[in-house]
Amino acid sequence: MPKLSKLKSKKWLIILAVLILLLLVRMYLPHYVKQFINKTLANIPDYYGQVSDVDIALYRGAYRIEGLYLRKTDAATDIDFLNFPDTDISIEWKSLFRGKIVSEIIMNSPAVIYVKEDMSTESESTGEDWTHALTELVPIDINHLRINNGKIAFVEISTDPNIDLQLNQVNFVAQNLRNVRDKEVSLPSTISGTARSIGSGNLDIDGKINLLREIPDVDISLSLTDVNLPSLNDVTSHYGGIDFEEGRVEIFSEIAIANSYLKGYAKILMDETKYIGKEERPIEKLWEGFVSVFDYLLQNRATDKFAVKVPLEGDLSGVDTSPIPAVISIFKNAFVKAFKAEIDYEIEYQDAKVESKSEDSKKRKWWKFWKKK
């Protein structure tokens, strides 16, 4: 009996020791992970970043990063390039049943703000360094990504007034990025997202991708509707010498990429446009007057919309954006058939795949663009 009692005592001592060890690991692990992340961020050339806190949830194989930011060390502003206040990284448990260990990431209110002057000295290799460093923060491949209430902005402070283009309320979901299921499907991953643009516009994006290729294959559609044109005056005035008093703009696009070959279009429609002079200089008034007359003469009389449709085609190293089909499309909308304010659904992944295998696809075929309905 005494011997049996001693064995039981040893058993409970071992269990107690294991529990104490697990407790110590649980207590120290957040500190270790925080140190690792801060060291990783500190080693990115030309950048500086930190995280404020790390929380570990062992029961679901997850950790939560709070207050991650990254900025250029020689930036002209004190604006963070990346600001991720709340990021949850965990094992995607449903993929374990398919024999795959992959992760899912949920990002709440992330912000990416590209300040042109801050990034003017950025080299190509530096850009790769920061993306590679962030990838290292996730120990296993990402299969599911969700962004809640994000923000993307492009800022240029050297202009007068400053240019500040934003997408707010960005909600985005990407699924099956590592192709855990649907092995025979060419584009196994799905993406979808919405956002609010500057000028109270509504952005919608939907499509399929294959991220397992070196240059991803994609088939996506995008629409940006009901954008208030005067909200873009900082941009149009600086780059085009044009100011809008009234008007709306809408953009619709489809893009397919297969084997590094791109095929698609971008369709832009404007209506209710009214121009104003930025200054009283005669040359500016003359230019704005010319644009106004051009816009009026080439509006479709049934819809009162000025529209242009730009086809995009070619190898990604040299995509064809010839002005000829774009000019033809303006006259087509004005005098032949009005473009509809919607996605045309005329581009498919198979189109880019077939064209990528054809030597003739690299030649311009702008005359076919005129025949499209």
pTM: 0.79
Residue 146: is its pLDDT beyond 70? yes
323: burial class by Cβ within 10 Å (0-12, 13-18, 19+)?
exposed
Residue 64: is its pLDDT beyond 80? yes
Q: What is the pLDDT of residues 72-114, one digit of tens each?
A: 888 888 899 999 999 999 988 888 777 788 889 999 999 999 9
Residue 367: is its pLDDT beyond 60? no
The Cβ of residue 221 has, within 10 Å, a number of other Cβ atoms equal to 18
Residue 117: is its pLDDT beyond 70? yes
Pick the residue with more confidence: 13 or 32?
32
Stretch 171-190: mean pLDDT, rounded? 84
To 5 degrees, how large is the angle CA 139–CA 215–CA 173? 55
| Torsion angles phi and psi, residue 159, rounded to 5 | -90, 160
Q: What is the pLDDT of residues 285-298, one digit of tens each?
A: 555 554 554 454 55
Question: Mapped to the 3 state alphabet, what secondary structure does the chain carry?
Answer: CHHHHHHHHHHHHHHHHHHHHHHHHHHHHHHHHHHHHHHHHHCCCCEEEECCEEEEEHHHCEEEEEEEEEEECCCCCCCCCEEEEEEEEEECHHHHCCCCCCEEEEEECCEEEEECCCCCCCCHHHHHHHHHHHHHCCCCCEEEEEEEEEEEEEEECCCCCCEEEEEEEEEEEEECCCCCCCCCCCCCEEEEEEEEECCCEEEEEEEEEECCCCCCEEEEEEEEEEEEHHHHHHHHHHHHCCEEEEEEEEEEEEEEEECCEEEEEEEEEEEEEEEECCCCCHHHHHHHHHHHHHHHHCCECCCCEEEEEEEEEEECCCCECCHHHHHHHHHHHHHHCCCCCCCCCCCCHHHHHHHHCCHHHHCCCHHHHHHCC
The pLDDT value given to residue 330: 66
Residue 44: is its pLDDT beyond 90? no
Q: Are 263 and 355 in contact (CB under 8 A)?
A: yes
Residue 208: is its pLDDT beyond 90? yes
Residue 366: is its pLDDT beyond 50? no
The pLDDT value given to residue 265: 92
When mean pLDDT is compared over 4-13, 24-33, 230-239, 254-263, the highest value belongs to 254-263
Stretch 14-38: mean pLDDT, rounded? 75
Stretch 180-184: mean pLDDT, rounded? 68
The mean pLDDT value of the chain amounts to 79
For residue 359, name the pLDDT band (cuts at 50, 70, 90): very low
Residue 239: is its pLDDT beyond 60? yes
When mean pLDDT is compared over 74-78, 88-92, 144-148, 369-373, the highest value belongs to 144-148
When mean pLDDT is compared over 139-143, 192-196, 257-261, 356-360, the highest value belongs to 192-196
CA quadruple 331, 336, 342, 346: dihedral positive or negative?
negative
* Helical axes 2-42 vs 124-136, angle rounded to 10°: 160
Residue 364: is its pLDDT beyond 60? no
For residue 223, name the pLDDT band (cuts at 50, 70, 90): very high
Quick one: what percent of the chain has pLDDT higher than 70? Answer: 73
The pLDDT value given to residue 128: 55
The pLDDT value given to residue 371: 45
